[in-house]
Every structure is written in C-alpha cells, then in structure tokens.
A and B are shown apart, each in its own frame.
Chain A
C-alpha cells in the first residue's frame, strides 16, 4: 500500500532521515519505535507530506510527485492523529468531526452529522456531541481526534505518539480504540512508546536510530530476540 524508497530528510545541516526504505501492506499495523530524535515522527509526517523530503513515496502503486499531484486530494485518504490532538477549539466535538466531510468532501450536512454521531458512539463519546474540546479529558480529546480522522473514511491512519501527552490512567481508553480499529483491518502506522501496544497489536515493529531504520521484524521476534545490538541496547533501556 505504501512503499518508501531512499527517503532522505534534512533540517538545515541536520540529516534527520537517512536512506529510509519501508513498505506497509494493506491491513498491516506498523509500529515505529526509537529514542526521541531518532526521526520516527518525521518519517510519519513525510508519509502525509507535512514534511518535504527527497526520495520516492509510492502510495497504491503511484509515485507521489509533490509538483504535479494534488496533495490535498491524497491527504483525504490518509488520516492523521497528533500527539497534542490539535482539535479545533472554536468548534464543538461534532463540528470538529463534520468539518472536513462537509467542506472538503462536500457531503450533505445531514449525512455528515449522522455519520459523525455514529463515529462518536464508536469511540465511546456519544454523549459529548455538543461539548467544546476544552471540557474534555486528554483521553477523550484524542478519541475525538481519531473520530475526526475516520470521518474522512481514510484508507490509512497515521498516529504520531497518540498517547504521549496523556495522563497514565487515560492511555488505555485511547489504545483500546486503536486496537479495535486494527482488528477491523485498518492499515495503520503508529509512532509509539507503548511497547505493550506494539507487541500486542503490531504486525511489524520498526526500530529507528539516528534517522536510520535499524531493524524491522514482527513484534515477538524484535522484542524477544532482537538481532541488532543497538536494538538490544534500546530495548534493555525501556523494558
């Protein structure tokens, strides 16, 4: 579904992604792990073209060329969930969700509202339809953000450390929504520090260090029997 070849990214003199090759198959859940500054978030943002990088990104068999393709149309198929939620504070929960379907996809307002409410039920927030984001807990905000991304009916979901800004007791509710999504067959790329989630839900775990992919393996292999010494060192620090 996605194929990345020879991706390089520089921030000024800083070389943050080095020759990244990566492939994500449909319905796969790929977890990106690594220390902060390893480039995992940047890699994820490149997949949504929020960052410009050199190299080739192939989505659904098409090479994506920034110059000739309309990235806005491409982004409709790629949902993104941010560490800091980035909900629209001037809109209610429901308005947050129906905003893009109405103004980007141009679907009927009534239909958008019906679908939006359904999505809110799904993430367990059916009673928060008319609330503003400011009264929600972090976990609730992130679940709204997931529903907002799902409202565009994306083929692929990107999660950028979705639980890192949450109080520990709120992490579970977000992870369980993500787990449900994975079980429904959603293709997901998840930058995470939640090794439990990566182990349980991930099909593949990708370990990055200093902008390079060091090791790619199914979770039980990577966590129990890491081949690379740097992966071993990283895992021994956090497990």
Chain B
C-alpha cells in the first residue's frame, strides 16, 4: 500500500520527468531519422567512397556504448560550444539511433523490387525523382514496424540521459531512491512509467500500420 501512496505522491514529479523523456525521444528519433536516411542513401549509392563513409559511421556508432557517446557529446561538444544537457543527450541519442535507422531504411529501400526503379527510369524519371516518388513511399510502409521497434529502444535508452543531469524519469527515480533509501520502490515506479509509455506508443504504431495497409489495396 505504501507503494501506491508513493506512486500518487510523486506523480507530479514523475509526470514532468516522463514529459522530458518523451521529448528527448521524439527529438532523437526525428533527428535520427534524417541522419539515418542520409546514411542509408550513402550506403546504397554507387560511389565506393560514400559507401565507406557510411560504413565507418555505422561501425563506430554500433561498436561503442551509448553512454560513451553521450559523454563524448556532453563533455566534448560543451568544451567547444555552449550546449545544454538536454540537447547533448538528444543529439547523442539521435546520432546513435541514426546508425540503426540507416540500416532499417537501407533494408526497406533494397526490399523494393528492382523493376520499380526501372519502370520509373523508363518513364524518363531521374534516379532522384524515382527514389522520391516511387521507391521511398513504398519503402516507408515496410519501414514502419522496425522503426516502431527502434523508437521503443530509443525511449528506454533515453534513461542514460540521467547521467548528464537531465531530470528525466530515471534521473528523478535515482534522486528519490537515494534520498529516501526506497530503491526498489522508486526504480519500480520508473519502470512502470516506461512500461506505460511503451504500451501507449506500440498502440499508436499498430494504428499507423493498419492505416497504411488499407491504402495499398482495393478501391481508393
């Protein structure tokens, strides 16, 4: 019962923290999607140099822990320019997710039948136009489910922002735990908030998937 009392008592604090968690995640995934699209296009380009650049980026980012990347950007970048903890963490998460999203987008693009590009080209489209009008819209539908998955990962990974002093969910629970010595209690409450956010988000992705599926069949 004490758990529920604490849950209710601390809810204003946690709700505010949850809002920050969602904000970091949204910024990270949105920015990360642009980064991902950029590197996906480098990776499928015919230029060997561009392929290598993309591979280098993906190898470094996937090969080092996110917390190291967050510290790189938080301490490294802040020694050059003024950057808030929020933006340092969001940027690090964006760069991190960008590498994974690049692979998701590349897979989506390459899963589209080659004939689609040929049909576009045979109608006089440039590669760029065919990519934008023909390939990417189709790839987008296939990208939605793995992107939803990546979003969930990003949401939970944003807890690492706690270590660069952002008052997001995990940071708040850490502070409450250390000041009250009710560790299990407050980490469980944090877990509960994450769980609710993930369930909410999964529901939205599911809705989007259904909506996209309707468009591709039958009458308009």
Q: Which residues of A contact B (CB under 8 A)?
A: 48, 50, 72-73, 75-76, 78-80, 82, 84, 86-90, 92, 99-100, 103-105, 130-132, 134-135, 148-149, 152
Contact present for B119 and A88 (CB under 8 Å): yes
Query: Can you list 13 residue pairs at the A/B interface with Cβ under 8 Å?
Result: A50-B122, A72-B125, A73-B124, A76-B123, A80-B118, A82-B115, A82-B119, A84-B113, A86-B115, A99-B133, A105-B124, A132-B216, A132-B218
Given known A-B contacts A99-B133, A103-B133, A135-B217, A89 and B122 have beta carbons under 8 A apart: no
Task: For chain B, give the interface size range.
Answer: 20 to 34
A77 to chain B, nearest CB (A): 8
For the A-B complex with A90-B137, A131-B220, A135-B219 known, give 7 more contacts whose Cβ atoms are closer than 8 Å.
A50-B122, A75-B124, A84-B113, A100-B123, A100-B124, A104-B125, A148-B123
B141 beta carbon closer than 8 Å to chain A: yes
- B interface, over-half SS: helix
Q: How many A-B contacts at CB < 8 Å in the complex? A: 78
Q: Nearest B residue to A134 by beta-carbon distance?
A: B217
B129 beta carbon closer than 8 Å to chain A: yes
B154 to chain A, nearest CB (A): 27
Contact present for B118 and A50 (CB under 8 Å): yes
B156 beta carbon closer than 8 Å to chain A: no
Q: Nearest B residue to A74 by beta-carbon distance?
A: B124
Contact present for B125 and A100 (CB under 8 Å): yes
B65 beta carbon closer than 8 Å to chain A: no
* Interface hits, B104-154 → A, CB 8 Å: 113, 115-116, 118-119, 121-126, 129, 133-134, 137-138, 141
Contact present for B216 and A89 (CB under 8 Å): yes
Q: Nearest A residue to B140 by beta-carbon distance?
A: A90
- Give Cα distance in the complex from A75 to B126, angstroms: 10
Contact present for A48 and B122 (CB under 8 Å): yes
- Give Cα distance in the complex from A80 to B122, angstroms: 6
- Give Cα distance in the complex from A73 to B216, angstroms: 31
Contact present for A76 and B115 (CB under 8 Å): no
